[in-house]
Chains A and B, each alone.
Chain A
Amino acid sequence: MMSKFSGVWATFEYLDDTCAAIKELKSENFDQITTHTPCPRHEIDHALGSPQSRVPFVTVIGSFIGFALALLITTKMALDWILPVSAKPILSVPIVVPIAFELTVLLSIYFTMGGMLLLILKDTFKHQVPKSSQYKEYDRFMRDRFGIVVECQEGDFQKIENIFKKHQAEEVNLEK
């Protein structure tokens, strides 16, 4: 997957420029877009067509596993060595509730984290970014600059560069 990258990346000072650029790129059918923003902005999301994250599904799986685990350990452990306490039933529902809740939460959180990581990795592998040190060392994305990376064939370079320029990009870099 980590093949050679060929594409264009540009930085912007203003958000509205960035959004406009993205919209235009979209309309030109460039889908392999990666943006950089210092903070999450819905404007970008809207420009990108409001993609949905699949993280919740992973969470749900985690929660089910947690719940099942709780049921399992409470019953199995109670029956393994039967020690009655205070005439309470050996197996009882109330004792499962807090344990089940906590384990459900615990595992869903772990799964959410794992899911986030995996999904981010998956998307990142799908959308290549430049390998150049200039891109890698560009350190204003987390500060106050917006960036757009478009993966494309060498033939489209000019077209994209024009779009970026049109939207007053600060700098535009071409990478093969």
Chain B
Amino acid sequence: MKNQFIKKHVYFLLIIPLVILYSVISLANKPDPSAENTPPAQDTTVTENTVPPEFVQPVEFSHKTHIEKGEIPCEFCHIYARRSVNSGAPTMASCFGCHSVVKGSDEKLQAAIKKLLEFKPTGKSIPWKKIHDVPDFVHFSHKRHVQVGFDCTECHGEISTHDALSPLTMITDLSMGWCMKCHTEGRQAFRGEIVESIRKTRGGKIVKQAAAQQPDGILLGSKDCYTCHK
């Protein structure tokens, strides 16, 4: 009778693979963090009006104008990106350096530059709102990433297409899952430099000594928590 029952109700056993399948899928298909966390697809037409009020900068600075019109590479202003953990906001002096000459092509820009120059005699700094911000317990190193050949746009997005940056223009939320995507998959690298062709928005050269230590093949980021959390 028991055998009969089992034969009759063998379909029940289907549940086992089903449940296991589900578990495997949920485990193996790790949630795609970029899908989960990416803010709404970037809209190139984002203008200043769409910037949330709390992210409006004290001076109407436009990355777009500087990169497109001025053809300025990132590292011209963010000078520490290659050398230090911080990329460094450009110093006031470097702003004044150009803008004592460059006065702006239209009224709006002129007004912004005027606002900037008002800071010069006061000796104060512009209190920029930080857009690309990781929590304080994350100690991200720009140096390591720039030196192996990551382009600024990989994390910061096509900054050149935006006048004003805000969380809406970010291509990622800079969450840990987003970091871990690269750190688990790795990148194809040659002599310590990742090989994907990238637009060189940055300037300068790779530090070759550092590269010499790296093996060819997949270049893996560290998965040691201490790398970022100190």
A72 touches B27 (CB 8 A): yes
- 24 example contacts (A-B, Cβ-Cβ < 8 A) are as follows A54-B5, A54-B9, A57-B5, A61-B12, A61-B13, A61-B15, A61-B16, A64-B16, A65-B15, A65-B16, A65-B19, A65-B20, A68-B19, A68-B20, A69-B20, A72-B24, A72-B27, A73-B23, A73-B27, A76-B24, A76-B28, A81-B223, A82-B223, A83-B225
In the complex, what residue of chain B is closest to A52 when comparing beta carbons? B1
Q: Which residues of B contact A72 (CB under 8 A)?
A: 20, 23-24, 27
A123 beta carbon closer than 8 Å to chain B: no
Q: Inside 8 A of B28's CB, which chain A residues have their CB?
A: 76
B contact residues, total (Cβ < 8 Å): 16
Give chain B residues whose Cβ lies under 8 Å from the Cβ of A80: 27, 30
Main secondary structure of the interface of B (DSSP, over half): helix
Which chain B positions have C-beta within 8 A of A87? none
Q: Which of A94-127 contact B (CB under 8 A)?
A: none
Give B28's nearest chain A residue, CB to CB: A76
What bracket does the count of chain A residues touching chain B fall in?
10 to 19
- Chain B CB within 10 Å, residue with most, of A57, A64, A65: A65
Question: Which residues 6-51 of B sit at the A interface, judged by CB distance below 8 A?
Answer: 6, 9, 12-13, 15-16, 19-20, 23-24, 27-28, 30
Are B12 and A69 in touch, CB under 8 angstroms? no
